[in-house]
């Protein structure tokens, strides 16, 4: 399925980016000169966990929708005129 392939690339690509950003946020030193972290009032660990959770949710959402689409594509279409 075309939508499945493009959504899989999107979900895994975005999850990878979110995981990398969450690691960068977690290990960055806000007291270093020239470093500013604007995390919307969240602490570093909270922001890192939030981004990791969103990445995991994207991957789970892809697997959930692919499971549903496999089930729906297995249903036989009815023949006849309506």
Q: How far is CA 2 from CA 5, 72, 73, 77, in A?
A: 5, 15, 14, 20
Residue 20 has φ and ψ, to the nearest 5°, of -65, -40
pTM for this model (two decimals): 0.71
Cα(70)–Cα(26) distance, integer angstroms:
38
Least confidently predicted of 47-51, 60-64, 75-79 = 75-79
Three-class secondary structure of residue 30 per DSSP = coil
Token pair in block for residue 78: 């009815």
Max mean pLDDT among 20-29, 37-46, 58-67 falls in: 20-29
């Amino acid at each position: 399925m075309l939508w499945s392939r493009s959504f899989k690339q999107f979900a895994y690509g975005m999850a990878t980016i979110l995981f990398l950003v969450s690691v960068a946020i977690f290990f960055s030193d806000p007291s270093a000169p020239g470093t500013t972290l604007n995390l919307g009032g969240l602490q570093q660990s909270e922001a890192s966990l939030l981004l990791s959770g969103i990445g995991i949710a994207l991957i789970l959402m892809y697997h959930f929708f692919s499971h549903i689409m496999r089930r729906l594509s297995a249903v036989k279409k009815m023949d006849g005129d309506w």
